Every structure is written in C-alpha cells, then in structure tokens.
Amino acid sequence: MTDNQIFILLGIFYLSVSLSMFFNPQYFRRFFESFFNEPLAVFVSGIIALIAGYILIIYHNMWEFSKTVIITIFGWLALAKGVLILAMPELFIRISSKILIQNQTLHPFRIVCVFLGLVFMLLAFI
C-alpha cells in the first residue's frame, strides 16, 4: 500500500467511527460496555492491534521529516497498544472504559476522531 492509501484508510476509519459516535452514542456506549466484559473480544483486539502495528512498522518504519513519519508513529502506537492489551488486559479495560463509556468524555473523543479522520484524508491528497 502506498502512503496515500494508508492515509485514506485511516481517514475513512476515524470518520466512520466518529459518525457512529455522533449519530448513535448510546449504541456506541453499549457496544463498549459489552466489549469490555468479553475477554475473547479484548484478546482478539489486542492481536489485531499488534498485527496492524507490526505491518505498518515493517513497511513504513521511516523516521524522516515528511508525512510518512505519521504512519510510522501510528504503527508504533498500534504495536504498543496490542502489547498492552495482551500483557495487561485489565489495565487496558480500566483506562479505556473510563474514556469511552462516561458521558462527559465521549464528546471530546468524537471530536478527536473527526479531527484525525479529516487530517488523514487531507494528508492523502497533499
């Protein structure tokens, strides 16, 4: 995949998640409440994050002053998230549930997702 294709994929992902949170906040909250209570779902999400991060690092581990470094940073963050989820699932659940389930923190999270989605889409086309 090219850098632009990765930016488009990330942009679509973050914009889709943010739209879901804006239009269906109760569904999103219920989803994560059930997700955090299902050990298999948490474990599989750790594996997916680990694999996605690893793939991004293998193909885009470029520490140069360009937009490519953003992909590298997100790859390392995804890898670290996967390791955290697999090594300390209780800590991941405790931190994530405070961020994603409480009413007062869901709105800023939606804004961050919209911002990231728009930035990634912009980076794809510049």
State the amino acid at position 15 in one-letter form: L
pLDDT tens digits, residue range 24-58? 888 877 888 888 889 999 999 999 999 999 999 99
Instruction: Give the mean pLDDT of the chain.
Output: 89
State the DSSP code for 1: -
Under 8 Å CB-to-CB from 3, ≥6 apart: which residues? 60, 67, 68, 71
Lowest mean per-residue pLDDT among 11-25, 28-42, 69-83, 98-112 = 98-112
Map out the domains of the chain as residue ranges: 3-124
In this prediction the pTM is 0.83
pLDDT digits (tens, 9 = 90+) for 103-113: 566 678 888 89
pLDDT band at 102 (very low <50, low <70, confident <90, very high): low
How confident is the model at residue 96, as a pLDDT?
82
**C-alpha 15 chain-centroid distance:** 11
